[in-house]
Structure 1
Amino acid sequence: MPCMKNGKKYFTKISLLAAVMAALFVVTCIAAPCRAQELKKITILYTNDTHSRLLPFERPDVGKSVGGIERRAEYFRSVKKREPGVLIVDAGDLCQGTPFYNFFKGEAEFNSFALAGYDLAAVGNHEFDNGLDNLKLQAERSGLRLVCANLFDSDTLKPLFAPFKIVEIGGVKTAVIGIMGKDSWAAVSNQLKKGVLYADEVRLLEKLCATLDKSVDLIVLLSHSGHEADLRLAEALPRVDVIIGSHTHTKLDKPLVVKKTAGRTGSTAITQAFENGVYAGRLDIYLDGANRPVRYDGGLKLIDGGIRINKRSALHASLSRYENAMKKEISRKIGVCEAEMSNFVADMFNATDHPLGRLVCDAVNSAAGSDVFFSNSTMLRDRLPKGDITIETVYRIIPFDNTVTVFEMKGDALLGMMDFIAANFGKNESFQYGGISFTIDMKKRKAFDVKVKGMPVEAGRTYKVATSSYIAQGNLMGSEMFKEVCGRDELGGNIRDMFAGYIEKTGSIKPPADERIKLIK
């Protein structure tokens, strides 16, 4: 990870960058003004964390057929038809989660968003999953405009993306700034951060907002930071009027209006529209004669079969081409699941193991020939439904192309690693395990009763402990966990293929019953 440069010199560079960025804006007109003597109303339509869900899908807790970029586009079109001033934005992570991204490296997502009518999008951590060069290429080819103010070339200190755009929405001059939050940036693999300087978002935004203040009526922040971070940003940045959030997949049914503390006037509306395009958000902003917001309204629109798509649209033709190009390969049946297995984790930091995690880790452990395999819980991105399993099912569960790294560790080093995991339980992202079981004493923050394949760990014995390449590269405290190793082997193939091979070999699968983690509070 590139190091942050501290002190006055760095602060001066960021200040100059903010000033330069503000001097280079171009104003884009979005619609017409309203009649005098009335409150002006403008509308922002927003989404976040689509994760390549371009087609409708079943979501048991919501409906049998929800989402879909074509339905979303028709909803956008219907609102624009009725309202005079509309801006359409996305707050990031439009990529990674279905075979569209694996097969087309972001081309399908970027083209679809551009054709759906998006004006601007923030950069999420998963936009980096195929590297910075690929991200820039897809954005340039599609014409989808990205904004991100706090990522810079580490050599030149030039912004990697347009920091902001100034647009006119119904006569209201609006600066739309993109930002990558700390937690989001931390989730980007260390291997993909080379050559990129991450700047503290609050310090930079303070400077940028001060520079833009007199030039615009509204400041809107597309924040790929997470809901808790957005609350802090609203308090720290009184000039920001709206924060369109993402990253934590939070469902805010109504805009959350945060009043400023004593001595600071106005308020900030915070929004976030869940995940996977299940909903699209709408924020109506009512402004006085000075174009200052006096009221916020809006909510979430369920994107479902009640919205008819236009099969003659360019979006439909484009999406069909991508779908047909991969259909034969991903529709192949490889097995049957006897009972549904959820990937649901209510709290990614305090979660224990679940049946799908056990199944995947057992499968990879077997394929790798290791004694133990573990990986982060968020490696698993979808449930495994009861019934036929296809290649597409496996892609939805494990969209990432991570491979397996096998370390050789002495038993005492393995026990030390488990103590480290116990000490950091709740601070780091949770893991799923295969081949190992243990108990965590939450008061002592220690691991005990550690067993590998049902047998107590022997201090002097050598064990093969495998994990994903993502963790092996040092992410999620991987460097600390694997400090004491006596061997390392990088396996070919990826975790998804290993899991698919296990299903095909087994034929019919069911949830493993044995729990791997026990907590004593």
Structure 2
Amino acid sequence: MKRCTVRVGKLFFVLMAIMAFSMPSWGKDGTATIVGFNDMHGKIFSYEATVKVDGEKVKEDVGGIARIASVIREIKSQSPGNVVVAQMGDTVEGPLFFFFHGKAELAGIDAIPVDVGIPGNHEFDLGADVFGQFVRTASFPLICANLETSRDDCELSSTWTITLENGVKVGFFGLLCTELASLTTPGPDIAAGQDLIAVSEKCVEDLRERGCDVIVALTHVGIDSDRKLAESVSGIHAILGGHSHTVMESPEVVEGPDGWKTMIGQAGAMARYVGSMTVTVKEGKLDTEKSSWKLIEMRQSVPKAQDIEIAIKPYGDELKKNLSKKVGTFVSDMDATKLVVRGRESALGDYLADGLRRKAGTDVAFVNGGGIRGDRVFPAGEISYNTIMEIFPWGNTMQTFSFTGAELREVMEISASALKGTGDEYDPAVRAPSGAFLQISGLKVVLDLTKAPALIDNDSKLLRPGARVLSMEIERAGEVFPIEDDKIYTVATYSWTGGGGDKYYPFARKKAVESYVTDSDVLAETIRHTAGIVEKSKDGRIVVKK
């Protein structure tokens, strides 16, 4: 009996030894600092913005890559060799990217320098060729575990590791938003893998096998997906994210499987913030008491790194010249006067709304007349980026929604409320403002201004339903069908309207699917889609009876 016990004991220790050898265990305790920024969107130069000083709103020069560099360098100097610098995608966008294909942004980022980064959806705005060029130009490794491509020049590693001066080995993996194809134009050779959980589990396993003490996910998937990732996957100590432009004053610690804890941080957007995360691990797990997140705003008081200013200045000078270069042609005059875009169907409004609907892939698109600027007739002839920015100076972003037919009717009643009929006593306190009038795509509507308008107070509360919408039809493949009250339709608009601006309460009570694609970028892409030719005539999609 004693001999049997000894054999069992030996077998137990042999099995334990095999398991210990075959299963990677967490290594040493220690601390790593990851400092980074996300969603710069081409804002390498500082710019004026409204900030609060002692409770008062004032204008300040804020942001810019030169300020980001100063802050990051200061953090690195406090713990040499133990700080990793990361960027979490959407570093590029707009005319700067269009003209320089990422070289301007990389001139600043490379000089910081950045250690590791991931792509965002905007890095694919100009297609796979330009993305490949961007990857080759960057002096730091770009990683992404769910990027699927058949092109060698666009292929990225899933993970990246570094051993700090303090001996802590840090492993990173990258994730890209799953809705890539609907947000940009990557082309047929690039796609985003949809199963973020499975991909992350594989990366965690790989990094553990390679002896990483700290595992960090760099993500461009948005805060909601970050939280789901933390809830679903154990082994990730920290997530530094982007895409949703979330300004996190403090970190979120999310509990996942078997009580595993993951810290999440995200640093706003537009080069306004830097996030600094201290990740401390003890016995393989996040030590929440000794881990932290600090959000640093790029205010006017933050000095600019002069070497960065010198590196990016030539691109700023060249950009000013390029903004006046031809990017398209108006075949005929396009009327963008307030009287037209805020009062009736406009040929330019049709073009803008059609472009938005094509980009969003929705049934219907709305562009508020107040969002179309210029207040002049754009003459037939050349279109430059300056023209695009004159039409859409706001930087509002594309959003999509799901509406019932009855809710679409409510929306059009608000649009009709913005119009003043003959003898109509227009009281701005209870009516939609003139800028609320919508240019539309995908719909045909008939409005009667002799009927009662919707009355809405200044808190966007409906006081009385309108009766001005006589008919509404949906256009599909050249045919029109009556709108059905109970049927669901997909809708695209820009974030001013989508956020409930101009008293659009039906949008305010919905949750938008945010694209972070600006109005000017949608217009620029529309012009490229129509081969640079802007030719549009009114087709009777809005009929106004007086």
TM normalised by structure 2 equals: 0.58
Count of paired positions: 379
Contact 1:67–1:277, Cα closer than 8 Å, also in 2 = yes
Taking the aligned partners of 1:56 and 1:393, their CA distance within structure 2 comes to 18
Give CA deviations for 1:277-298 in whole Å, capped at 9, x if unaligned. 1111111123347686453212
* Matches for 1:49-448 after TM superposition, within 5 Å: 49-61=39-51, 64-84=60-80, 85-97=82-94, 99-154=95-150, 160-169=155-164, 170-184=166-180, 186-189=182-185, 192-196=187-191, 198-214=193-209, 215-261=211-257, 264-288=258-282, 293-294=287-288, 295-311=290-306, 313=307, 315-330=308-323, 365-367=346-348, 373=354, 375=356, 393-394=389-390, 397=393, 419=405, 422=408, 433-435=438-440
Structure 1 equivalent of residue 7 of structure 2: none
**Which residue identity is paired with 1:242?**
A
CA apart distance, 1:433: 4.3
Structure 1 residues 328, 457: CA separation in 2 closer, same or farther (over 3 Å shift)?
Answer: same
Contact 1:374–1:433, Cα closer than 8 Å, also in 2 = no
CA apart distance, 1:120: 1.0
Using the TM superposition, name which of 383-392 and 205-214 deviates more.
383-392
Structure 1 residues 202, 94: CA separation in 2 closer, same or farther (over 3 Å shift)?
Answer: same
**Which residue identity is paired with 1:308?**
P
TM normalised by structure 1 equals: 0.60
Contact 1:91–1:124, Cα closer than 8 Å, also in 2 = yes
Say which SS state the counterpart of residue 293 (structure 2) adopts. Answer: strand
**Which residue identity is paired with 1:272?**
Q
Structure 2 equivalent of residue 343 of structure 1: none
Taking the aligned partners of 1:255 and 1:231, their CA distance within structure 2 comes to 12
Contact 2:91–2:105, Cα closer than 8 Å, also in 1 = yes
1:47 and 2:37 aligned = yes
Taking the aligned partners of 2:126 and 2:313, their CA distance within structure 1 comes to 23
Taking the aligned partners of 1:434 and 1:126, their CA distance within structure 2 comes to 27
Give CA deviations for 1:14-72 in whole Å, capped at 9, x if unaligned. xxxxxxxxxxxxxxxxxxxxxx9xx8443111211110011111222565211100111
**Which residue identity is paired with 2:315?**
Y
Taking the aligned partners of 1:316 and 1:322, their CA distance within structure 2 comes to 10
Contact 1:177–1:221, Cα closer than 8 Å, also in 2 = yes
**Which residue identity is paired with 1:299?**
K
Taking the aligned partners of 2:295 and 2:99, their CA distance within structure 1 comes to 31
Structure 1 residues 205, 64: CA separation in 2 closer, same or farther (over 3 Å shift)?
Answer: same
Structure 1 residues 109, 358: CA separation in 2 closer, same or farther (over 3 Å shift)?
Answer: farther
Taking the aligned partners of 1:192 and 1:245, their CA distance within structure 2 comes to 25
C-alpha root-mean-square deviation of aligned residues, in Å?
Answer: 5.0
**Which residue identity is paired with 2:273?**
Y
Structure 1 residues 375, 364: CA separation in 2 closer, same or farther (over 3 Å shift)?
Answer: farther
Taking the aligned partners of 2:41 and 2:188, their CA distance within structure 1 comes to 21
Q: Which has the larger radius of gyration?
A: 2
Structure 1 residues 147, 359: CA separation in 2 closer, same or farther (over 3 Å shift)?
Answer: farther
Say which SS state the counterpart of residue 152 (structure 1) adopts. Answer: strand
**Which residue identity is paired with 1:176?**
F
% same residue = 21
Give CA deviations for 1:80-122 in whole Å, capped at 9, x if unaligned. 111231111111111114x311221222112321112111111
Taking the aligned partners of 1:281 and 1:301, their CA distance within structure 2 comes to 6
Give CA deviations for 1:418-437 in whole Å, capped at 9, x if unaligned. 949959x9xxxxx9941566
